[in-house]
Amino acid sequence: MNILLTGGAGYIGSHTCVSLIESGHRAVVADNLSNSSAEAVKRVERITGQKVRFYKTDLRDTPAVEEIFKSESIGCVIHFAGLKSVAESVEKPLAYYENNLDATFSLCEAMRKFSVKNLVFSSSATVYGNPQNVPIKEDAPVAPFNPYGRTKLMIEQVLEDLHASDPSWNIVLLRYFNPVGAHPSGLIGEDPADIPNNLMPYISRVAIGRLDEVRVFGNDYPTPDATGVRDYIHVMDLAQGHVRALEKLSEKCGLFTCNLGTGRGYSVLEMISAFEKACGKKIPYRITERRPGDIAECWADPSLAQKELGWRAKYGIEDMCAHAWRWQSMNPEGYGKE
């Protein structure tokens, strides 16, 4: 079966592409490369030894998306494409609502037209906002508090309405916790265009010498070492979660919402210390003010994924850091300029 990966040249999409191909699927990638490089797709081909059909397409261009459905026999879509920076979404909310929502409308319209009604959507733990309890279950209240998070929740709601209007759609909404790490080969990984916002790529760039020190955002949280705690999940575990989500679609699951996390949290200082072990260097850091909008702690209850998808995370924090470091040290400039 051909699987269309929108945003498949991006961080999570490229890793998922590898897992899908290794599970016997054929991958077709559509990406406008607004936050990625075509080199990532070439590297996926190198890792898997298989050809990946690549379309440089903006999903908002509905006729171009329809061309893909005309040319390729698509059975399922995994919809990764979207803008994902919280800070940028606060500065440019219209760009985020426009891109993330219009891309989804355009995609779903093309899918409806070509009777492809199997969809996996990249949602985020950000939809839970500031959780009342941890670990977080899927039925916890949702209340995102930035434009990026609101686009994720809105898309979830659009897809719920779509399923309600036509129950022959099968839709899996995957709420990712904090994806980190890289493919163990070191050939693909996370390559933020600007100075990273997220902790792990920031630590990696300090380790490689492209940034001076990590700023630890706040050490007055009600957590064991007073720094923020998150559920970091290896991107290859996340990729495998998508393979299982496709199997769920084939069971005609209807609408299914599921967390993808490990169920355990690590603090900022624990992450720095684990990375130091992985790279064999000291990571300089400095405690600064809290980052506005940050929460103290957040980790998943992953039991639904285990029960319904037969999936659980296998990699630990050592592999997350070792693989992130391998990617960073083999590719100090990421994929490089095209």
Active site residues: 148
Angle (deg, nearest 10), helices 11-22 and 38-48: 20
Site for ligand UD1 in 35-74 (CB under 6 A): none
Which range, of 7-15, 136-144, 212-220, 288-296, touches ligand NAD by CB under 6 A?
Answer: 7-15
Convert residues 169-188 into a mask of x (bound to ligand NAD by CB under 6 A) and - (unbound): -------x-xx---------
**Should residue 228 be labelled a site residue for ligand UD1 when binding is judged by CB under 6 A?**
yes
* Residue-wise DSSP of 48-81: HSS--EEEE--TT-HHHHHHHHHHS-EEEEEE--
Burial of residue 294 (number of CB atoms within 10 Å: 0-12, 13-18, 19+): middle
Q: How far is the CB of 10 from ligand UD1 (least distance, A)?
A: 12
Question: CB neighbours of 331 closer than 8 A, spacing ≥ 6?
Answer: 186, 189, 191
From 54, 69, 80, 311, residue interacting with ligand NAD (rule: CB under 6 A): 80
**Residue 103 touches which member of ligand UD1, ligand NAD, none, C-beta under 5-8 Å by kind:** ligand NAD
Measured CA to CA, the distance from residue 39 to residue 335 in angstroms comes to 6
Measured CA to CA, the distance from residue 336 to residue 338 in angstroms comes to 6
**Should residue 103 be labelled a site residue for ligand NAD when binding is judged by CB under 6 A?**
yes
**Should residue 13 be labelled a site residue for ligand UD1 when binding is judged by CB under 6 A?**
no
- Dig out the tokens for 17 from the structure: 């592409």
- Dig out the tokens for 146 from the structure: 């930035």
Number of residues written out for the chain: 338
What are the two backbone dihedrals, phi and then psi, of residue 42, each rounded to the nearest 5 degrees? -65, -40
Q: Which has the closest alpha carbon to 261: 221, 298, 310?
A: 298
**Should residue 223 be labelled a site residue for ligand UD1 when binding is judged by CB under 6 A?**
no
Site for ligand NAD in 46-65 (CB under 6 A): 58-60
Residue pair 242/175 in contact by the 8 Å Cβ criterion: no
From 32, 204, 240, 257, residue interacting with ligand NAD (rule: CB under 6 A): 32
**Residue 331 touches which member of ligand UD1, ligand NAD, none, C-beta under 5-8 Å by kind:** none
**Should residue 122 be labelled a site residue for ligand NAD when binding is judged by CB under 6 A?**
yes
Token pair 């500065």: residue:
91
User: Which amino acid, 137?
Assistant: K
**Measured from the CB atom, is 137 or 281 closer to ligand NAD?**
137
**Measured from the CB atom, is 83 or 212 closer to ligand NAD?**
83
Separation of first and last alpha carbons in the chain? 32
Query: How many chain residues are in contact with ligand UD1, going by CB under 6 A?
Result: 20
Q: How far is the CB of 89 from ligand UD1 (least distance, A)?
A: 9
**Should residue 215 be labelled a site residue for ligand UD1 when binding is judged by CB under 6 A?**
yes
Q: How far is the CB of 75 from ligand NAD (least distance, A)?
A: 20
**Should residue 81 be labelled a site residue for ligand NAD when binding is judged by CB under 6 A?**
yes
Q: How far is the CB of 89 from ligand NAD (least distance, A)?
A: 10
Could you tell me what percentage of the chain is helix, strand and coil, using 3-state DSSP and rounding each to the nearest 5? 40, 20, 40
Which range, of 40-48, 91-99, 286-294, 318-326, touches ligand UD1 by CB under 6 A?
Answer: 286-294
Measured CA distances, 152 to 77, 86, 270 (Å): 17, 12, 29
From 5, 11, 55, 156, residue interacting with ligand NAD (rule: CB under 6 A): 11
> How many angstroms from the chain centroid is the CA of residue 4?
16
**Residue 86 touches which member of ligand UD1, ligand NAD, none, C-beta under 5-8 Å by kind:** ligand UD1
From 3, 4, 5, 9, residue interacting with ligand NAD (rule: CB under 6 A): 9
Residue pair 120/239 in contact by the 8 Å Cβ criterion: no
Q: Which residue ranges make up the site for ligand UD1 (CB under 6 A)?
A: 84, 86, 124, 126, 149, 178, 197-199, 202, 214-217, 228, 230, 268, 291, 293-294
